[in-house]
Amino acid sequence: MLRLSLIMAIWTVDNLTEMRRSLLQWYAQQGRTLPWRNEPDIYRVWISEIMLQQTQVKTVIPYYERWLAQFPTVAALAAADLQTVLKLWEGLGYYARARNLHQAAQQVVGDFGGQFPEDVENILRLKGIGRTTAGGILSSARNLPLAILDGNVKRVLARLIALEVPPAKALDELWDVSEQLLDRDNSRDFNQALMDLGATLCTVKKPNCPHCPWQSYCAAYLKHRPTDFPRRAPKKQIPTKKLVAAIALNFDQQIFIQQRPQDGLLGGLWEFPNQEGDIQALLAYLFPGAQYERSLNTVFHAYTHFKIEIEPRIYRVDLTGAGWVEQKQLSHYPFSKAHLKIIEQLQEPQLNLSL
């Protein structure tokens, strides 16, 4: 394994000084303009850092703007109902992030008097914040000399040192590199520049090496094999779960929905009852006497570790009570993307659900 001592044997102090200078110069000319850049409000920076986890900037920006319009302060977020938080997050994915934001905001109010902590030890106590998120928040909002190691940065550094194993197997080494490269006098711009380098030039496919400020220092480029890095772990076969969802309609034109447990995948979201395989037992339990009417188009969705195919089936039932809502009320509840696709079909004009 390439340890820091070997890296430092290759990069002299002058090398490191020039690398920092050239990256910051490139950033001053080519860096992206983003709404959370140079933002002194640590709460706003925190929201952006969490939203940007595993999500592209162009997707995040409208969510970020809507979020701050509804929850302008950490106190406003802490006081909000979790369902309201999840509804605002709807469609952004990885819903544990929203639940963690809500819980962490309540920690800030309860444990820190409403003042967001500005030191590493305390910020790491907040739900959903790890080392790289803490570094991103505190370097961006307070210019503290803290390194980062997000997905873009891992790719840049793995190419820079031509790392011969997948990044996940060399996190200590990559943290060493990130720490040593960091411009401690200008960590805010340096970390933002490093992320921009990965997002705009050192991309997964077709990296733009001719315009990279670190071209002459990049081991992968000097080997003429930049796309061979980062090394990839062997691909695991992603299983597909085939589900049937029961879209139950009663004679008042109401639809039945249920809430998922607060913990786990999609915790706290609402959905149509669904089951893998035979749905008859579920129907008998929830909707005795249900009459099948028709099926809608199969819905496909991919999660990190598995895929799902959902066949939505419409059933007519003679029931009412808790869980039954009018179709127009569905927009009041937070649903996963897969179930939102079912709702889209239910709202198509050509689908006449009336009796």
pLDDT in tens, 268-311: 999 999 999 889 999 999 999 999 999 999 999 999 899 999 99
In a domain, 54, yes or no: yes
176 and 208 part of one domain? yes
214 and 267 part of one domain? no
195 and 283 part of one domain? no
Which tens digits make up the pLDDT trace of 75-100?
Answer: 999 999 999 999 999 999 999 999 99
129 and 158 part of one domain? yes
CATH code, domain with 180 = 1.10.340.30
CA distances from 7 to 10, 154, 163, 174 (A): 5, 16, 11, 11
In a domain, 90, yes or no: yes
The domain of 263 spans 240-346
CATH code, domain with 271 = 3.90.79.10
In a domain, 235, yes or no: no
In a domain, 233, yes or no: no
Token pair belonging to 167: 């990044």
Token pair belonging to 123: 């910020």
257 and 222 part of one domain? no
Beta strands in the chain (DSSP E): 240-249, 254-256, 258-259, 270-271, 274-276, 291-295, 299-302, 307-316, 324-326
Which tens digits make up the pLDDT trace of 125-171?
Answer: 999 999 999 999 999 999 999 999 999 999 999 999 999 999 999 99
224 and 253 part of one domain? no
212 and 308 part of one domain? no
217 and 265 part of one domain? no
Specify the pLDDT at position 1: 46
Which tens digits make up the pLDDT trace of 133-145?
Answer: 999 999 999 999 9
Among 168, 147, 149, smallest CA distance to 157 is for 149
Which tens digits make up the pLDDT trace of 18-28?
Answer: 999 999 999 99
Give the mean pLDDT of the chain: 94
75 and 198 part of one domain? yes
197 and 300 part of one domain? no
Specify the pLDDT at position 263: 86
In a domain, 351, yes or no: no
24 and 95 part of one domain? yes
Domain count across the chain? 2
Catalytic positions, please? Answer: 49
Specify the pLDDT at position 10: 64
Among 248, 240, 300, 303, smallest CA distance to 276 is for 240
Which tens digits make up the pLDDT trace of 45-72?
Answer: 999 999 999 999 999 999 999 999 999 9
Which residue, 228, 258, 291, sits at the end of a domain?
228
Which residue, 198, 228, 258, sits at the end of a domain?
228
Which residue, 208, 228, 248, sits at the end of a domain?
228
Specify the pLDDT at position 264: 87
In a domain, 352, yes or no: no
Specify the pLDDT at position 355: 46
- Rounded to two decimals, what is the model's pTM? 0.92
Q: What percent of the chain has pLDDT over 90?
A: 90
**Is the model's pLDDT at 2 over the cut of 70?**
no
> What is the rounded distance in angstroms from the CA atom of residue 303 to the CA atom of residue 301?
7
Mean pLDDT of 224-232: 96
Q: What is the 3-state secondary structure (H, E, C) of 32-58?
A: CCCCCCCCCCHHHHHHHHHHCCCCCHH
77 and 217 part of one domain? yes
